[in-house]
Amino acid sequence: MAPFLEAIEVSYRYKTPRWVIDGVSFSIEEGEFWGIIGPNGAGKTTLLNLLDGIILPQEGEIRLKEQALGDMSRREIARQVAILPQEVTFYFNFTALEVVLQGRAPFLGALRLEGDKDVEIARHSMAKTGSLQFADQSVTELSEGEKQRVLVARALTQQPRLLLLDEPTANLDLNYQVEVMELVKALSQQEGLTVVMASHDINLAAGYCDKLLLLKEGRVFCQGKPEAVLNQRVLTQVYECDLLVDKNPLTGSPRITLSSRVNCK
């Protein structure tokens, strides 16, 4: 059986000689939760944008259910793939429900008016994410954690089969980090939603992701289960720091501790 999502020797660069993504290949099965990790400038966000079809590979190909993204329209992609970007700015005083309803855009006709069915889907997504209580509140009045739940609900309202997350816990306190990650993990496990998350937080990725893709300078340095990727030799080479790798005593997942600030570049 063909993989749900596949990257085949994908390369991309902006208007510079250096490839930001350089010959990246991997395959993801439906329902898996993958984490993309690596140092600053490794290409994590660019790879997410390639997976969403916002930009197209200059070399290689990305396939979703055996169909090349380059052969699909934006509307076709948006009906299967939702992305939660790292930063979202609200320029208007929308209610939380109005924000979530924006996820129905790929399914609306020329007049772009939501019907009862669209509202029902949006409210159901808000109930799943614990944000229905904020439906009539201005999104600008919500805390960062509450906004993030609303944005996840907006993504779910697209009814995607692939959810892409760019640093979903950035700027959240520890309590909200755990809440958001538990929510995303539950969606993957209970509904078979395929998730790909870019994150700087290695320990968070280790605790929640089924597989990890470790990038260095746009190339795949290592990929596989967290315990295979997150070992001291590999991480020291990629991050150029003295790191200690042991096991989280509660979950058994790999745990990374910075052992020396002096030796970090």
* 156-202 per-position pLDDT tens digit: 999 999 999 999 988 888 888 888 899 899 989 988 999 999 999 99
Of 48-52, 147-151, 236-240, which has the strongest mean pLDDT? Answer: 48-52
Phi/psi of residue 228, each to 5°?
A: -85, -35
pTM of the model: 0.93
Query: In degrees rounded to 5, what are phi and psi of residue 147?
Result: -60, -40
User: Helix, strand, or coil here: 94?
Assistant: coil
136 three-state secondary structure: coil
Residue range 113-120: average pLDDT? 90
Q: What are phi and psi of 169, to 5 degrees?
A: -105, 5
DSSP reduced 3-state for 232: helix
Cα–Cα dist 116/125, whole Å: 14
SS3 249: coil
Do 98 and 60 contact (CB within 8 A), yes or no? no
The CA–CA distances, whole Å, from 43 to 85, 101, 152, 198, 211 equal 15, 31, 23, 10, 18
Tokens of 23: 């010959």
pLDDT at position 265: 56
Q: Which residues, at least 6 apart from 90, have a Cβ–Cβ distance to it below 8 Å? A: 99, 139, 140
- Residues near 80 by Cβ (< 8 Å), separated by ≥ 6? 64, 65, 160, 161, 162
Average pLDDT of the chain, as a whole number:
91
**Residue 150, Cβ neighbours under 10 Å: how many?**
27
